Amino acid sequence: MIERSSIEISLSDIAQKSGANAALVKYHFGNKDGLLLALLARDAATEMSNLEYLLAQPITSTAKLKLHIAGIIRAYHRFPYMNRLIHYLLHETSAGSADEVSKFFVAPLLDFHRRLLAEGVSRGEFRKTDPVLFYTSLIGACDHLFFGRHAMSRATGVGPVTDEVCRQYIKHMETLICGGILTQAGEAIAAG
Amino acid sequence: MIERSSIEISLSDIAQKSGANAALVKYHFGNKDGLLLALLARDAATEMSNLEYLLAQPITSTAKLKLHIAGIIRAYHRFPYMNRLIHYLLHETSAGSADEVSKFFVAPLLDFHRRLLAEGVSRGEFRKTDPVLFYTSLIGACDHLFFGRHAMSRATGVGPVTDEVCRQYIKHMETLICGGILTQAGEAIAAG
């Protein structure tokens, strides 16, 4: 999928590329959606264990927040298919797929946001912020850098998402999110 | 589409509902995508003329920014099919549809953001902000309230997007965007 920059692949493409037997791939995953879900579950699990690690670090909540923003944007940039996959599974397929996306991706991430925000508030670094609204704005804004770009790049002056664009967007999102939720104490920490 | 809360409708459904002849609908719009694009073009044109009107008002750039944030969220809430339609046209169909979405929706909105940001900077209310990054974060965050909600609502504690949720999200996005881009002068204006 990375090679083709598309999730439009068939089980037999996958079998051929991996050297596996197409029937075996089908036996394992049932169908293409089953394979895509297994892939999402695997990659999401890696990302979620990174979040647990981040939360346990002996650093300020503000530092964790900034690392998290950069982490999300970098993960989307490194695995562009994750973004397309989530959109595909939410749109194309049964209600069951939306449940799975929720289980592997939305619910753990939202839970992480709840705990990070509560920690930041208890330490006096963050203002009280609704985790669901926070999740929606942060994930929506990060997702859109990758999802909307091919339509945007038809508008004047909008190029592809390069490493440099990612760096700029990380800085932009840090400014918005920190500007929106840090207390004065949090701002003093963010300013170093 | 509003009635069914879905864009999964056929030309003959539309013909039946509108009392028009199915052949005439087909003659006019070519196919379903043609009709959906015509609908998007019509509604987008209305929204874009509202933006021109807003920009010409004798009010501060900060006040325009806040009205714009509320306007986007309310437009998505009022016309839930616009959001689905844009996603559908960007994903499902030919590159030509993405061009049309860009022409009717992305390009005029981005142009509005460029002019509003330039005005705010020239008046000393806004910090210098990249319009493409600004567009991406604002539209992505607003879009996600509606697009991601059905997956989110499978996670604990996340209900549907009611009027009250819209009001809360408008406030949340105002806080993020204003916190991220206003200068001290802009903040003094925002605080009234």
CB–CB of B132 and A172 under 8 A? Answer: no
Say yes or no to pLDDT of A55 above 90.
Answer: yes
pLDDT band at B68 (very low <50, low <70, confident <90, very high): very high
Contact criterion met (CB below 8 Å) for B7 and B1:
yes
Q: For residue B127, what is the nearest residue in chain A, using CA coordinates?
A: A175
CB–CB of B172 and A87 under 8 A? Answer: no
> What's the CATH class of domain A32-190?
mainly alpha
- Identify the pLDDT of residue A53: 96
Higher pLDDT, residue B14 or B135: B135
Say yes or no to pLDDT of A85 above 90.
Answer: no
Apex CA A37: angle with CA A32 and CA A42, to 5°? 130
- What is the rounded end-to-end Cα distance, in angstroms, of chain B? 41
Instruction: Please tell me whether residue A157 adopts helix, strand or coil conformation.
Output: coil
Choose the closest CB to B144 out of A91, A102, A140: A140
CA distance B120 to chain A (A): 17
Contact criterion met (CB below 8 Å) for B105 and A110:
no
Cβ-Cβ pairs closer than 8 A, A with B, add up to 156
Q: For residue A98, what is the nearest residue in chain B, using CA coordinates?
A: B151
Reported as a single tens digit per residue, the pLDDT across B148-190 is 676 677 777 788 889 999 999 999 999 999 999 999 889 898 8
- Is A102 near chain B, with CB under 8 Å? yes
The CB density around residue A2, as the number of other CB atoms within 10 Å, is: 9
**Chain B residues with beta carbon closer than 8 angstroms to that of A143:** 140, 144
Question: Could you write out the three-class secondary structure of B66-88?
Answer: HHHHHHHHHHHHHCHHHHHHHHH
Tokens representing A114? 């709840």
Calculate Rg over the CA atoms of chain A. Answer: 19
A182 forms beta bridges with A126
Q: Choose the weakest-confidence range: B23-27, B46-50, B53-57.
A: B23-27
pLDDT band at A4 (very low <50, low <70, confident <90, very high): low
Choose the closest CB to A173 out of B110, B132, B137: B137
- Is B139 near chain A, with CB under 8 Å? yes
Phi, psi of B126 (to 5 degrees): -115, 150
Among A72, A111, A133, the residue to mutate for chain B (most B Cβ within 10 A): A133
CA distance A51 to chain B (A): 18
Tokens representing B135? 């567009």
- Is B160 near chain A, with CB under 8 Å? no
Domain positions in chain B are 1-30, 32-190
Contact criterion met (CB below 8 Å) for B152 and B40:
no
**Chain A residues with beta carbon closer than 8 angstroms to that of B137:** 141, 144, 169, 172-173, 176
Ranges of H-type helices in B19-162:
22-29, 32-55, 61-78, 80-91, 95-101, 107-122, 131-147, 149-152
